Amino acid sequence: MVRPVKRPVVYTCGTFDLFHLGHLRMIRNAAALGETLIVAVSTDELVMEYKQLRPAVPFEERLEIVRAIRGVDLAIPQTTQDKYEAWERIGYDIWVVGDDWFGHDKYQDYHKRLTDAGVDCVFLPYTTGISSTQRRAASRSQPQLDQPAGSGGR
């Protein structure tokens, strides 16, 4: 049996690679804005397209992590960066994104088009000093610890 969707529906998306506190705060804050939260997780192919690098954590694992978070009603693949196209497909009421994207032309275009369609657009404060990109760079610059044979790095 299919449950009716409770409105308002909130939509957010991201790569969610090397999951960290900033991701968790974004999802929690997005969940608080409505009755149903849909989180789109970028596929590996999409990340390669716009970041020119492969995520450290494979798509299926990132999707499962996001699905396990309290407040997430539905986690789906994100195969395009086009937020308007996602709205046409899903029909959400509120779009949530980090305010680090606010000045980007593409995101201003999404903001205008979605607002014109009646969607509330919320730019949440970016968690400064925390990002998967920064963590990836920091881990590359750290000396590697010797691991006992057969430890699997644990």
| Tokens encoding 105 | 């032309």
| pLDDT, one tens digit for every residue, the chain (154 residues) | 556 789 999 999 999 998 889 999 999 999 999 999 999 999 999 999 988 889 999 999 999 999 999 999 999 999 999 999 999 999 999 999 998 888 889 999 999 999 999 999 999 998 766 665 655 565 666 665 555 555 554 4
Cα-Cα-Cα-Cα torsion 16, 50, 84, 98, nearest 10 degrees, comes to 40
Q: Report how far residue 2's alpha carbon sits from residue 140's, in angstroms, rounded to the nearest whole number.
A: 46
Q: What are phi and psi of 79, to 5 degrees?
A: -105, -5
pLDDT at res. 61: 97
Report the first-to-last Cα separation within the chain, whole angstroms.
42
Asked if 123 and 101 count as a contact pair (C-beta separation under 8 A), the reply is: yes
3-class secondary-structure state, position 7: coil
pLDDT at res. 62: 97
Q: Report how far residue 29's alpha carbon sits from residue 78's, in angstroms, rounded to the nearest whole number.
A: 20
From the list 25, 29, 12, 26, the residue with the least C-alpha distance to 83 is 12
Cα-Cα-Cα-Cα torsion 6, 82, 106, 111, nearest 10 degrees, comes to -20
pLDDT at res. 60: 98
Q: What are phi and psi of 13, to 5 degrees?
A: -155, 165
Predicted TM-score (pTM) of this structure: 0.83
9-139 adopts what CATH topology?
Rossmann fold (3.40.50)
Q: Report how far residue 12's alpha carbon sits from residue 125's, in angstroms, rounded to the nearest whole number.
A: 14
